[in-house]
Amino acid sequence: MATLTMPAPARAGLRRSPRLRLEQVIMAAAVVSLIVLVVLPLLFLLVGSVRGEQGLSLEHFAEVLSGRLYISALQNSLILGAWTGLFSLVIGLLLAWAVSRTDVPGKALIKITATLSYLSPPFLTAIAFVYLFSPNAGVINVALRDVAGMPWLAFNIFSMTGLVLVTVLHTFPFVFLLASSALQSVDASYEEAAQILGASKLRTAVSITMPLVAPAVLSGTLLAFVNAIALFGSQAIIGLPGRVVTLPTRIYALFDYPPEYGLASALSLVFVIITVAALYLQRAFLARRSYVTLAGKGARPQLMELGALRWVLFGFAALVFLISIIAPYSTLLAVSFSKSWGLDFWKNLTLANYKFILFEYNVTQRAILNSLMLAIFAASIAVLLGAVIGWIDLRTRAPGRKLLDYASLIPLGLPGIVMAVALIQFWLAMPLALYGTLMILLLAYVGRYIPLGVRSANASLRQVDPSLEESAQILGASWTTTMREVTLPLIRPGLFAGWLLVFVPVIQELSASILLFSSSSITLAVAVFNLYETGYTEPVAALAMVNMAIIGVAIWLAYKVGGGGIATRGGREGAVA
Amino acid sequence: MAGITIKGLSKHYGARDADVAAVSDLDLDIKDNQFVTLLGPSGCGKTTTLRLIAGYIRPDRGTIHVDSRLVSSPDTVVPPDARHMGMVFQNYAVWPHKTVFENVVFGLKIRKVAASEARRKVEETLALVNLTGLAERYPGELSGGQQQRVALARSLVVEPEILLLDEPLSNLDAKLRERMRTELKVLQRRTGITFVYVTHDQSEALALSDMVAVIHGGRLQQYGTPFEVYSHPANRLVADFMGLVNLVPGTVIDAANGVGTVQAAAWRLKLPMPDGAVPGEAIEVAIRPENIRLAPANRRSGLVPATISDRTFLGSVSEYYAMLESGHVLRVQTHPLQRFAVGDTVAVEVDASQCSVFRRAPADATPVPPADGAAK
C-alpha cells in the first residue's frame, strides 16, 4: 500500500476498514517471527565466530582451519559426503531408470523401498546395524565367527565404510525421487523424434534422454551429499566408536565442559559454507531442469524390454529392500522383544522392554510426550507461518517480499547442529532464560523446518489462481472471508501435506535437539540416543519401535487425508537432516 | 445502474524510470446501461484498465468516478469489495471446491440475504443463464461453457451496477463462443447492467458493443460505435486492428474544410482530410479489401488496371492480390462467383466514400508502434 499523504477530508466517504489492519498485523507478525527464528540467531552465530578475548578476531577461524582435529573432521565429512553422494547416485539412478523406463517387475516394491528409506530415522538404522555388525557382539559377526567359522567375513560397522553404508540407505531416495520424476516427465516425442531420424535406442538415451535428466540427477546427488554430512545421529553412533570424527560430532564435542562457543561458531560457519555451496549448485542444476517439466501431461515414456536381465535388476532392487528396510526393522523388532540380544534371543521373548519404556521409566514417557507436543506445535506453526509468508510473496506487492522468501529458505543451508549452536548463542545473550526449555526446542524446530512450510504453502498457492480470490473480493468478501471461504479450503490439502512434512522429521529430530535438550525437555530421539549410549540395548529398540509407530501413524494419516504425495514433495524440497 | 467516468488515468509497472506504461493518460466516458468493449492486442493495457476500474490496482495518475462517486485516484482506492461491481474472469475463476449453488450464493451470503430468498434468487439466475438443474454439480463436472455461465450467474445474482468481463469467451471453442456472444448481448439488454468487456477479438467487439474503445500501447486510439470505428478509423493503427486494410501511399493535392483531393497510385480521390493536412504532404489512404471492386479489363475511365498475382478461395468470399502498375499490391475481396485467373489483367475501382486518409508517421504527434501481429 502506498502511503496516504492526503489530508483526511479528501478521503471522506471512502472506506478505510479495520480489516486491512488485521491483514497487516498478521503479515508483520510473520515477518518478525522469521527474523527472530532465523535471521537473528544466524547473526549471533557470525558475531560469536569473530569475537575473541579482546574484541574482533579471526583466531577461531585460524584454529579451525589449521588444527589437526578440525581438519580431520572436515576431511572425514567431505569423504563421507563424496562416497555417499556417489553410491546414492548409482543406486538411485539405477532404480529410477528401472521404475520409469523398463519393464522390471516389482515397481511398487522399489517405490516403497525409496519412500520408507527416506522416512526412516537414520539414527535408528544406524543402531540396528550396530546390533548386526558391531565387531564383537553384532549377531551376524558372531554367527560368522562362532557358527560358520568364517571370521574373515566379519564386517566392522564402526568404520567409514560402515558409516557410508548406513548413510546411503537414507540418502539414495533423493536421487531416486528426482531422477524418476525427471525421467517420467521427458516427453516420449523427444525420443521418438531422435529415433525417426535414425538414432538407436542407446544413442537416443545418451544424446537425448541423459542430457535432459542430468540436471535433476545431479541435483539429487548434491542433496544426498548435503543431507549425508549433516546427520548427527549416525555419525555419532557409528563414527565415534570407529574414531571417525566428522563436523557435527566435532562441534558436539566442543560443547563438553567448558563449552567453546567461538570455535563451535567458526566450525559451524565452515560447515554452512560447504552446505550452502552444494545447495547453490543444486539450485543451479535444478533451474536448468525447467525444460523437462515443460512437456507436462503429454509425457508417455517408452518402456525398455529387458528380457532376462529384468530379473537381475529386480534382484538388485530386492537386495536394496532387504538391506535398507527388512534388515534394520526386523532387527529392531527382534531386539525390542528380547530379554537379552544375541544369537539365541528367540529363546527368551518378552514385552518387558515396552513396559519399561512406556510405563516405568519416566524419562522415556516424558520424551514421548514432549516430542509429540513439539511436533504438533512445530508443524502447525511452520505451516501457518509458511502460508502467510507464501501469501505475502505471491499475492502482495509489499517491498522486500522476495527477500522474505529467501530468508525463509536460509535454514535449508543450516545443518541441525549449526542451528542449535546459533540458537544457543542468541538466546544466551537474551534476557529470557530459554536455554534448556521446550520453547527453545520449538524455536529450533520451527526455524529448521520453516522452509518446508513456506514451500508447501507456496506450491499450493501457486495452484490457486489469484482470480479465485479476486472474484470473492469483488462480490464483497473481506480479506478474512476470502481467506476462510476460498484460499484456505483450496490450499488445505497442500498445507496438510506440509504439516506432515514437518511433523515427521520433528518427531525424529536429533541433530539440533542433542545440544538444546535438558532433562525436563528431553525428546524421543534424544532419549533413544541417550539410552543407547548408556547401554540399554533392548529398551532402545522398543523405544525405536514406538518412534516408528508414531511416524507410521502420521504417514498413514497423510495418505488417508492428504492423498499421498508426501514422499515426492519431501524429496524435491530436501531439507537438510 | 451507473456510468463510469475515467479521467487522465495512468498506471506504470516496474520502476518509474523504466517507464513501462501499461495505461497512459486514458479518458473514457462509459454511459449507464451501455455495452462498452475495450479492444486491443495483448499487452495493450486493456486488462489493466479493467482491473483499475475494479479497484484491484491503484492508479499512478488520474481518477475513476462511478456516477459522481470518486472510486479511484492515486491517493484513495475504494476496495473491490465495496464497489458493487461484478467481474467475470478469463479463466472463469469458478471455485472448484464449491458446488454451482455455493458458488452463486456466495455474494448473497456476504450481503446477508435470507436463505430462502437467496435460494430463489440463485435459481432465477441459473435459469437466466440456462443452468437449471446443475446447481449441485461441482465445477469439475461442467464443460467450459457451463463454467463460464456459472461465473456469469455468480456475478449477476448480486445485481451489480457494473459488470466487468475480461476476455470471458477466449477459452471457448468457436461455435460455443458465437452462441455465448449472443447470450451475453441478450443478457445485457435484459438486465440493463453496464457491461465493460475486454477482448482482443475485433469481430467480438463489433458484434457485441454499443461503443468500442480501441486501445494500443496503453493509449486510447479511438472511442466510437462499432460502425464508426470500423469504417472511419481514427488512425492507421485502428484501421489495421479493425480488420484487413490496404495502405496506399499518396500525396495531398488540395485540402480545405476537412475535405480534399489526394493522388494515390493511379487514383485521384476526393476524401475527408485529417486536420492540418497541407498540399504536397505525404499521406496514406486506407482501403478495406471489400471496398475494392474488380472488373474485367476494358480501360474505362476511372478504373485503374492491375494484374492478378495470387488468389485464395475462402468460401464466402474470394481473395485476390492485384498488382497495380505502380507496383503496389492490393488485397481485394470479391463475391466468390466473380472469378479471375492469376495473370489476368483487371480494372480496379475504389469506393472513395469508404476510404480514410492518414498522415504519415513523422507528422503524427505520437510515434506509433507497428501493429501487433496478434491483431487479426
Q: Summarize pLDDT for A281-337 with one digit per residue, the tens.
A: 888 877 765 454 444 444 566 677 788 888 999 999 999 999 999 999 999 999 999
Does A4 reach chain B within 8 Å, measured CB to CB? yes
Question: Cβ contact (<8 Å) for B83 and A474?
Answer: yes
Does A13 reach chain B within 8 Å, measured CB to CB? yes
The most confident of A438-452, A559-573, B163-177, by mean pLDDT: A438-452
For B77, the 3-state DSSP assignment is: strand
Cα angle B341, B344, B345 (rounded to 5 degrees) comes to 150
What is the spatial distance between Cα B5 and Cα B27, in angstroms, rounded to a whole number?
8
Percent of chain A scored above 70 by pLDDT?
91
Q: Pick the more confident residue, B328 or B18.
A: B328
The most confident of A216-220, A339-343, B63-67, by mean pLDDT: B63-67
Q: Evaluate whether A451 touches A411 at the Cβ level (below 8 Å).
A: yes
Nearest to B216 by CA among B190, B236, B197: B236
What is the spatial distance between Cα A223 and Cα A415, in angstroms, rounded to a whole number?
12
| CATH 3.40.50.300 domain residues, chain B | 4-231
Nearest to A498 by CA among A399, A389, A407, A338: A389
What is the spatial distance between Cα A463 and Cα A527, in angstroms, rounded to a whole number?
41
Give residue B361's pLDDT. 60
DSSP A442: H
| pLDDT level of residue A100 (50, 70, 90 thresholds) | confident
Does A470 reach chain B within 8 Å, measured CB to CB? yes
Cross-chain CB nearest to A476 (options B91, B110, B164):
B110
Question: Cβ contact (<8 Å) for A13 and B69?
Answer: yes
Question: Cβ contact (<8 Å) for B75 and A5?
Answer: yes
A259 pLDDT higher than 80: yes
The residue written with cell numbers 535438550 in the block is A517
Give residue A541's pLDDT. 94
CB contacts of A472 in chain B (<8 Å) are: 95, 106
Q: How many CB atoms lie within 10 A of CB B188?
A: 21
Q: How far is A495 from chain B (nearest CA, A)?
A: 16
| pLDDT level of residue B302 (50, 70, 90 thresholds) | low
ipTM of the complex: 0.75
Q: Evaluate whether A84 touches A224 at the Cβ level (below 8 Å).
A: yes
Cross-chain CB nearest to A474 (options B74, B75, B86):
B86
The most confident of A143-152, A543-552, B357-366, by mean pLDDT: A543-552
CB contacts of A468 in chain B (<8 Å) are: 93, 95
What is the spatial distance between Cα B267 and Cα B352, in angstroms, rounded to a whole number?
10
Does B67 reach chain A within 8 Å, measured CB to CB? no
B301 pLDDT higher than 60: no
Stretch B283-297: mean pLDDT, rounded? Answer: 88
B362 pLDDT higher than 60: no
Percent of chain A scored above 90 by pLDDT?
47
The domain B4-231 having CATH identifier 3.40.50.300: the answer here is yes
B374 pLDDT higher than 50: no
Cell numbers describing residue A477: 468478501
Cα angle A377, A381, A384 (rounded to 5 degrees) comes to 140
| CATH 2.40.50.140 domain residues, chain B | 245-375
| pLDDT level of residue B4 (50, 70, 90 thresholds) | very high
Cross-chain CB nearest to A470 (options B56, B58, B75):
B56
DSSP B140: G
What is the spatial distance between Cα B371 and Cα A168, in angstroms, rounded to a whole number?
60
- Quick one: A499 exposed, middle or buried, by C-beta within 10 A (0-12, 13-18, 19+)? buried
Put the strands of the sheet holding B162-166 in their side by side order: B85-88, B162-166, B194-199, B35-39, B211-216, B219-224
Cell numbers describing residue A348: 527368551
Chain B (94-113) residues lying within 8 Å, Cβ to Cβ, of chain A: 95-97, 106-107, 110-111
| pLDDT level of residue A562 (50, 70, 90 thresholds) | low
CB contacts of B54 in chain A (<8 Å) are: 470, 474
Using CA coordinates, name the residue in chain B closest to A475.
Answer: B107
What is the spatial distance between Cα B306 and Cα B289, in angstroms, rounded to a whole number?
15
Does B156 reach chain A within 8 Å, measured CB to CB? no
Give residue A254's pLDDT. 92
| pLDDT level of residue B82 (50, 70, 90 thresholds) | confident
Strand pairing of B259-264 and B246-256? Answer: antiparallel
Stretch A90-97: mean pLDDT, rounded? Answer: 94
Using CA coordinates, name the residue in chain B closest to A14.
Answer: B78
| pLDDT level of residue A563 (50, 70, 90 thresholds) | low
User: Which pairs from A185-188 meet CB under 8 Å and 24+ separation?
Assistant: A185/A292, A185/A293, A185/A295, A185/A296, A185/A299, A186/A212, A186/A213, A186/A292, A186/A295, A186/A299, A186/A301, A187/A295, A187/A298, A187/A299, A187/A300, A188/A299, A188/A300, A188/A301, A188/A302
Cell numbers describing residue A77: 565429512
Helical H segments across chain B, by residue range: 46-54, 100-110, 115-128, 144-156, 174-191, 202-208, 226-231, 236-241
Helix (H) or strand (E) holding A448: helix A438-463
B338 pLDDT higher than 80: yes
Q: Which residues contact A269 (CB under 8 A, 6 or more apart)?
A: A45, A46, A49, A61
Calculate Rg over the CA atoms of chain B: 24
Cell numbers describing residue B316: 464466402
Q: B279 preceded by cis ω (within 30°)?
A: no
Cell numbers describing residue A220: 539429487
A449 pLDDT higher than 90: yes
CB contacts of A13 in chain B (<8 Å) are: 69
Nearest to A275 by CA among A411, A123, A169, A163: A411
B366 pLDDT higher than 50: no
CB contacts of A19 in chain B (<8 Å) are: none
Strand pairing of B211-216 and B61-66? Answer: unpaired
Q: Pick the more confident residue, B256 or A473.
A: A473
Does A476 reach chain B within 8 Å, measured CB to CB? yes
pTM (2 d.p.): 0.79
β strands within chain B, DSSP E: 4-13, 20-30, 35-39, 61-66, 69-72, 85-88, 162-166, 194-199, 211-216, 219-224, 246-256, 259-264, 267-272, 282-287, 292-296, 304-313, 318-324, 329-334, 345-350, 356-359
Q: How far is B94 from chain A (nearest CA, A)?
A: 7
Looking at domain B245-375, what is its CATH homologous superfamily?
Nucleic acid-binding proteins (2.40.50.140)
Transcribe A374-425 into DSSP letters: HHHHHHHHHHHHHHHHHHHHHH---TTHHHHHHHHHGGGGS-HHHHHHHHHH
Beta-bridge partners for A349: A338
What is the spatial distance between Cα A423 and Cα A417, in angstroms, rounded to a whole number?
10
A499 pLDDT higher than 60: yes
Beta-bridge partners for B28: B6
What is the spatial distance between Cα A385 and Cα A457, in angstroms, rounded to a whole number?
9
What is the spatial distance between Cα B206 and Cα A537, in angstroms, rounded to a whole number?
84
Q: Evaluate whether B320 touches B311 at the Cβ level (below 8 Å).
A: yes
B260 pLDDT higher than 90: no
What mean pLDDT value characterizes chain A? 85
Stretch A2-17: mean pLDDT, rounded? Answer: 35
